[in-house]
Structure 1
Amino acid sequence: MDSVDMDVVRTATRWLSEGRRALLVTVVRTWGSSPRAPGSMLVIREDGLAVGSVSGGCIEDDLIAKVRHRGIEQRLPDTLRYGISADEAHRFGLPCGGTVELVLEPLSTMSAMPQLLNALESGRLVTRTLELSTGEVSLSPASLIDGLRFDGATLQTELGPRYRLLVIGGGQLSQYLARMAIGLDYQVTVCDPREEYADVWDVQDAALVRDMPDDVVAAMRLDARSAVVALTHDPKLDDLALMEALRTPAFYIGALGSRRNNDARRLRLREFDLDDEQIARMKGPAGLHIGSRTPPEIAISILAELTAAKNGVAVPVHMEVRFAKAGQRERLSRGCVVA
């Protein structure tokens, strides 16, 4: 879940502890284009104060207006659709043909919000199951594949901590990469034991640690919501991080450097008892081939590949830096013009 949805859970828990009534709104289905994905959440207090987002703003405004006018009348969860007609789609800022289905859940002691918040702040993935007929909620270890399941009677939502990015190296490229990743809502940790880089690090929202990279990887307990990018060009640092990261379920592991350097790195990694399947997970050179040259452009290239991996999008081989540049050199050797 992103930080916005985490704020929803935290705020809803606080309002309930203060004795306030609140309505939790969750996107459960979308048809056509929609501003927010299924699982997005909004919480509205009885006086209309709201945190979170389920659309570009117009649906929120309508829901808040209804709560202010009528209060939170319902006692059990219910569903509501927006954008069924062309007029509604235009009114609520939805693209033509877009439809959003929401579950509106009046929160109570049965909603298990304090228990959910405690689990999320402890870094655990949780499946929250809501029975619409009774309003009862149960929590269990996450087991869903797609993150959300709704059959009209039961809503199951997978909730968990923010995606994490570990960057090895504190140089200029790392600063651009960290800032952009923070903008994409990653929790960013930068590891660099070298004093000359640590002293000039100035990305305030990215934690800088000075321990050795293999120790940091082990301490972070990387999971399927974690990514690692090695940027130092120093095998003593990059290889230490990679040899540990490739044994974890991290969804993306990449390393900067030329094709030749990364081929040499793959040979070195074999000495750490990594098998072919583990080594093949490393993206090296990291990034998509977009003609990037400057540090900001290289950061965009890496984050583009990382984002595709996060979203389960298969990138054509000819777009990967390693294979794209090899193909480009082959075409040049044949006297072909490269567009």
Structure 2
Amino acid sequence: MEDPEFSVLTRVRDWLDTGHRVWLVSVIETWGSSPRPPGALLAVRDDGAVAGSVSGGCIEDDLIRRIRAGEWPERPETVRYGVSSEQAFRFRLPCGGTLRVLIEPLHEASWLTPLLTRISQRQLVTRTVELASGRVTLSPGRRGERPVYDGERLHCPFGPHWRLLLIGAGQLSQLLAQMAQPVGFEVLVCDPRPGYRVDWPTGLGRWIDGMPDDAVSAISPDPRTAIVALSHDPKLDDMALLEALKSPAFYVGALGSRRHSALRRERLALFDLAPQEIDRLHGPVGLYLGSRSPAEIAVAVLAEMVAVKNGVEVRQLPPPLPADSPPEPVACGMGPACAA
């Protein structure tokens, strides 16, 4: 699945190649409950065709009206929506939210092909626009970088689509894959056990052949990759984790109860992993939601992944285990022990 902003830029390139004039609209600042975050893109063609979104529809209608009325700028210009209560009502911005957008006329876009090429090569790239001149420069991006507008320049990071590698192809993996795709993750699946591939739904992710450690190495994890071990087989899961925890993947998780997760950490410490690498492991995987079904566990895992992806600190913790509690069952994906 392509990143939405990558899709917009690809459409811009195609439109320019066919002789159309194009304006690129970027969300640069938001206040309150804005519909789209900074960095969101909308492309508007000279005939009113659009690609992408900055508001979900209301502001897009005004931008199309402006282009048809010949009101679009010939130089980069910022426009603020929702600044007054009348505007908030007119454009139906939720909760009185406000956003500022940058409108760029793309007379030429020599920066576009190099940007798309770097993204396709899974590189992080920062695009800088000087508002006074319209000049665009590209520079290497940094993990965790956010769009920044200083009144004179817009610095906006771009990167490849987000990926999720699932180790194991059981029911929980299928549910997580189904939920992760609409959120924007390309799903990859590895399970070397005979028979598991037979029941995997067609079109639900791309299979990576080989053993789990080989699969992790094969995809070359980067800061936009998540790896989650859900095979229920400690040998397979641990093989993947030994490679994943040494990689730049932004999220590495493994299914299991608290006690089994502690035992897994002890096993991992016997290999060439540093303590800080083992500390990266999300195990038990997912937010504690009291999950009692595979679907609820999948929700908990995806919620934690998205929180980490968005730079939100995950604070929710399960209640402590009583000192005299019986041993937890082996995590099976079918009960609260898997999220406990």
TM-score for the superposition, normalised by structure 2 = 0.91
2-side partners of 1:331 and 1:35: how far apart? 49
Deviations, residues 70-119 of structure 1 (Å, cap 9, x unaligned): 275x2211100100110100111113432110000011324521221222
CA offset at residue 281 of structure 1?
Answer: 1.3
Q: What's the % identity of the aligned pairs? A: 49
| Corresponding position of 2:221 | 222
Aligned residues: 326
| Corresponding position of 1:279 | 278
Deviations, residues 15-46 of structure 1 (Å, cap 9, x unaligned): 11111100000000011110100000000000
Contact 2:144 2:311 in 1 (8 A): no
Q: Which runs of 4+ in 1 moved over 6 A?
A: none
Contact 1:46 1:71 in 2 (8 A): no
1:199 paired with 2:203, answer no
Q: Residues 51, 331 of structure 1: CA spacing in aligned structure 2 closer, same or farther, 3 A cutoff? A: farther
Name stretches of at least 5 consecutive residues in structure 2 with no aligned partner: 327-340
CA offset at residue 49 of structure 1?
Answer: 0.1
2-side partners of 1:2 and 1:61: how far apart? 25
CA offset at residue 2 of structure 1?
Answer: 6.7
TM-score for the superposition, normalised by structure 1 = 0.91
2-side partners of 1:128 and 1:40: how far apart? 13
Deviations, residues 41-63 of structure 1 (Å, cap 9, x unaligned): 00000000000000121001110
Q: Residues 35, 331 of structure 1: CA spacing in aligned structure 2 closer, same or farther, 3 A cutoff? A: farther
| Corresponding position of 1:100 | 99
User: What is the identity, as a one-letter code, of the residue corresponding to 2:79?
Assistant: L
| Corresponding position of 1:7 | 7
CA offset at residue 154 of structure 1?
Answer: 1.1
| Corresponding position of 1:189 | 188
Contact 2:3 2:162 in 1 (8 A): no
CA offset at residue 260 of structure 1?
Answer: 2.4
Q: Residues 314, 2 of structure 1: CA spacing in aligned structure 2 closer, same or farther, 3 A cutoff? A: farther
Which region of structure 1 is more displaced relative to structure 2, 3-12 or 173-182?
Answer: 3-12
| Corresponding position of 2:242 | 243
1-side partners of 2:310 and 2:2: how far apart? 14
| Corresponding position of 1:70 | 70
2-side partners of 1:130 and 1:311: how far apart? 24
Q: 1:165 aligns to what SS in structure 2?
A: strand
User: What is the identity, as a one-letter code, of the residue corresponding to 1:188?
Assistant: V
Name stretches of at least 5 consecutive residues in structure 1 with no aligned partner: 334-339
| Corresponding position of 1:35 | 35
Contact 2:148 2:154 in 1 (8 A): yes
Correspondences of 1:1-339 after superposition (within 5 Å): 3-70=3-70, 72=72, 74-110=73-109, 112-143=111-142, 145-316=144-315, 319-320=316-317, 324-325=318-319, 327-329=320-322
Q: Residues 149, 164 of structure 1: CA spacing in aligned structure 2 closer, same or farther, 3 A cutoff? A: same
